[in-house]
Structure 1
Amino acid sequence: MKIQQNSVVGLTYELKVSKEEDGIESAPFSVEIRDEEDPFYFLFGMSGLPEKFEELLAGKEEGETFSFLLPMVDAYGEADDDLIITLPKEQFSGDRGFSPEMLEEGNFLPLMDENGYSMQAKVLKDLGDQLLLDFNHPLVGFDLHFEGNILEVREATKEELAHGHVHGEHGAHD
């Protein structure tokens, strides 16, 4: 089966990132590896991944390899200054499951929006009684280099399509 809309895709990959600054592209460095012990599964067309990522995988089959570059503009774009905000530190108390170590500069805080969706924010600066947080995607501003292998392609079940995510061994409901 070929990767197409509403198929479940399982793959392994190495993700490297690079960034252009002052007209010079940095050497790509590895930021994530998903291997056979921890493959990445998603519902094609409903993944929430950059559109170009899915576009470049479309039509591939189980057993095929892939290698492509997503330029920053096709990946997560440039940082949005409106997503850098200051919040009162009291919102991140122990009562709410946060430890003082979690609030250290450079850490990512696991959060939920008002609709219950997971999100994260990077702690940029501890301002005493407030925290300066960056809600931009961690890969914003980077070119993404993917190299990997298609492990599995199958038709999504009606339940998976209704819920918008993969179920079973590699999905939400193990």
Structure 2
Amino acid sequence: MNIINSTVVGLTYELKVSKEADEIESAPFSVEVRDQEDPFYFIFGQSGLPEKFEEFLLGKKEGEQFNFVINCEDAYGEADDELIMALPKEQFTKERGFEPGMLEEGNFLPLMDEQGFPLQAKVLKDLGEEILLDFNHPLVGFDLHFEGEIFEVREATAEELQAGQILDE
């Protein structure tokens, strides 16, 4: 079966990222590996991943390998300064599930938006009464290098399509 909309896709991959600065591109470095112990599954057409990711996989089938690069502008784009903001530290209390160590520079805080959807923010700096957070996607500003293999392609069930997620993997 080939990958088309509404198919469940299971794959393994290594994701490397690189960044271009002043016309010089950094060597790609590994940021994520999904292997047979922890494969990645998604419903094609509903992944929430950059469009180009699905475009590169469209029509491929089980057993095929892939190797492609998604440029920054087609991935998560450049950083948006409006997504960097200072919030009162008092919002991050133990009663709300936050431990003091979670607010250290470089950590990612698990948060929820107004609709109850999960999101994360990177702690940039402790400003005393406030904490400076970056709500940009962690891969913003990077070219994404994917190399891997498709090991499963199947039709999604009606329940999976309705739920928008894989239910039995």
After superposition, give the CA deviation of every residue in 1:62-121 in whole Å (9 maximum; x if it has no partner): 000000000001100000111111111111111111111100000000011111111000
TM-score calculated relative to the size of structure 2 = 0.99
Q: Show the 5 A alignment for 1:56-67.
A: 56-67=56-67
CA distance in 2, matches of 1:95, 1:33: 35
Specify the code of the residue in structure 2 equivalent to 1:68.
F
Q: Secondary structure, in 3 states, of the residue corresponding to 2:141?
A: coil
Is 2:4 the partner of 1:9?
no
After superposition, give the CA deviation of every residue in 1:152-174 in whole Å (9 maximum; x if it has no partner): 000001011111111112xxxxx
Q: Which residue of 2 aligns with 1:91?
A: 91
Specify the code of the residue in structure 2 equivalent to 1:49.
L
Where in structure 2 are there 5+ consecutive unaligned residues?
Answer: none
CA distance in 2, matches of 1:118, 1:2: 32
Q: Show the 5 A alignment for 1:94-173.
A: 94-169=94-169
Q: Secondary structure, in 3 states, of the residue corresponding to 2:121?
A: strand
Specify the code of the residue in structure 2 equivalent to 1:28.
P
CA distance in 2, matches of 1:69, 1:39: 20
CA distance in 1, matches of 2:156, 2:4: 10
CA distance in 2, matches of 1:116, 1:44: 24
Q: Which residue of 2 aligns with 1:80?
A: 80
CA distance in 2, matches of 1:137, 1:93: 24
1:151 offset after TM fit, Å?
1.1
Specify the code of the residue in structure 2 equivalent to 1:163.
A
Aligned residues: 169
Is 2:35 the partner of 1:35?
yes
Alignment identity in percent? 73
CA distance in 2, matches of 1:53, 1:162: 22
- The alignment's C-alpha RMSD in Å is 0.5
Q: Secondary structure, in 3 states, of the residue corresponding to 1:90?
A: helix
After superposition, give the CA deviation of every residue in 1:96-153 in whole Å (9 maximum; x if it has no partner): 1111110000000001111111100000010011011000000000000000000100
CA distance in 1, matches of 2:79, 2:11: 28
Q: Secondary structure, in 3 states, of the residue corresponding to 1:41?
A: strand
Q: Secondary structure, in 3 states, of the residue corresponding to 2:167?
A: coil
CA distance in 1, matches of 2:92, 2:17: 31
Q: Which residue of 2 aligns with 1:172?
A: none
Specify the code of the residue in structure 2 equivalent to 1:109.
L
TM-score calculated relative to the size of structure 1 = 0.96
- Moved >6 Å (runs of 4+): none
Q: Secondary structure, in 3 states, of the residue corresponding to 1:56?
A: helix
Q: Secondary structure, in 3 states, of the residue corresponding to 1:69?
A: strand
1:11 offset after TM fit, Å?
0.3
Specify the code of the residue in structure 1 equivalent to 2:129.
D
